[in-house]
Amino acid sequence: MVRWGALLALVVLAGCRDPGREAVSAADELAVAGRWEEAAGAYLALPEEAGSWRAYGAWRAAVIYRDSLQDHVRAEQGFSDCVRAWSEQDWGYACQVELGDLQRDLGRSRAAVDAYRKALELRPRGSYAEHCLLESGRAYLALAEPAQARVEWDELRRTFPRSGLLPELELETARSYDLEGLEEAALEAFRAVRRRWPNDPTAALALFG
């Protein structure tokens, strides 16, 4: 036997709508269907009721522009807008890191460094901080500034002494010495990679180096 009180509660709950969550679901459905332009527009148009989901929408739209539509101009603008509006939230921070990766992939090394450093200013020990330091060093290497690259990597070592990126970082450090013509330092650094991480994939690359 159904109690009338319980039935009434179910009716009330069924009548409760969350316009914000419904808007996110509608945008998600467009993305799943591969209707990328519509999906990006829907994510950007999330209503006030969506609250913090609007930051996610800004990030998701920019990712669609970059990955699905291959529109780097709108992607860059999208990530930049996302940071301006939501820098205090996780998705705004993610957008700043994505902006760095986009600049890196487009070969804009100086702009990539600037974007990664801004991400580090937002969250010095954020979840992407190690990535930002590794990649900003690589960007300096691409700019033919190996000494400055090592400054970035030294910061990573100091701040994250147990980072899982250390084998990669040490290999890049060895390469930076090599590019600078410091052959003895390069050889010692390559050997150190093999000594410290003999089973890591970087060991074979260090041997080649």
Low-confidence ranges of the chain (pLDDT < 50): 1-16
> For residue range 111-144, what is the model confidence (pLDDT) as tens digits?
999 999 999 999 999 999 999 999 999 999 999 9
Interior CA angle at 150 toward 165 and 103, to 5°? Answer: 75
Looking at residue 169, its pLDDT comes to: 95
Please tell me the distance from the alpha carbon of residue 58 to that of residue 78, in angstroms, as a whole number.
7
**Is-contact 136 117, C-beta < 8 A?**
yes
Please tell me the distance from the alpha carbon of residue 70 to that of residue 64, in angstroms, as a whole number.
8
What is the value of pTM for the model shown? 0.86
Please give the mean pLDDT across all residues of the chain.
91
Looking at residue 17, its pLDDT comes to: 64
Residue 89: which of 53, 117, 62 has the closest Cα? Answer: 53
